[in-house]
Amino acid sequence: MGAVGLSSCPEPPVPGNGLKIGERYLVNDVVSFQCEPGYALQGHSHISCMPGTVRRWNYPPPLCIGAHVQFLNFSTEPNHDFVEIRNGPYDTSNVIGRFSGTEIPGSLLSTSHETTIYFHSDHSQNKPGFKLEYQAMFSFS
């Protein structure tokens, strides 16, 4: 009876803004992933090395995603006009910021792959409004 060769899955990449838990990549080994605070895991948090003639993971490695939102200027009618930013696409998604007046808001980080920016105005006063930039953030280390 001959020896059975041990073959491993390729090392999965560490998601940018995240970490990988597990250093063994043999059949049935499990590797886990977590994201740093402020980032959301997109994909599976655990992957397993599958048996077969070609060693592969049962799922692709996940991403840690977020969207950085930065206001460049801001001027709305205080208390009557406002900008609301939600961490997701729905009216029920968590509000991560609601701003009114003339103070430029600090930067925000949305942890969803969908971010909603809602502007409400009552049309009673004209103000310059706001300008913002956003950047989707995800990468592999």
Domain with residue 77: its CATH number is 2.60.120.290
Question: Could you give the 3-state DSSP secondary structure of residue 121?
Answer: coil
What's the confidence (pLDDT) of residue 141?
55
Q: Could you tell me the residue range of the domain that residue 102 belongs to?
A: 65-137
What are the pLDDT digits (tens) for 41-88? 999 999 999 999 889 999 999 999 888 899 999 999 999 999 999 998
Rounded percentage of the chain residues whose pLDDT exceeds 70: 94
Domain-embedded: residue 31: yes
What's the confidence (pLDDT) of residue 2?
38
What are the pLDDT digits (tens) for 79-118? 999 999 999 899 999 999 999 999 999 999 888 778 999 9
- State if pTM tops 0.75: no
Please check whether residues 70 and 98 belong to one and the same domain: yes
Please check whether residues 102 and 74 belong to one and the same domain: yes
The edge-to-edge listing of strands for the beta sheet with 95-99 is: 95-99, 82-86, 116-120
Please check whether residues 127 and 106 belong to one and the same domain: yes
> 16-20, 28-32, 111-115 — which is least confidently predicted?
111-115
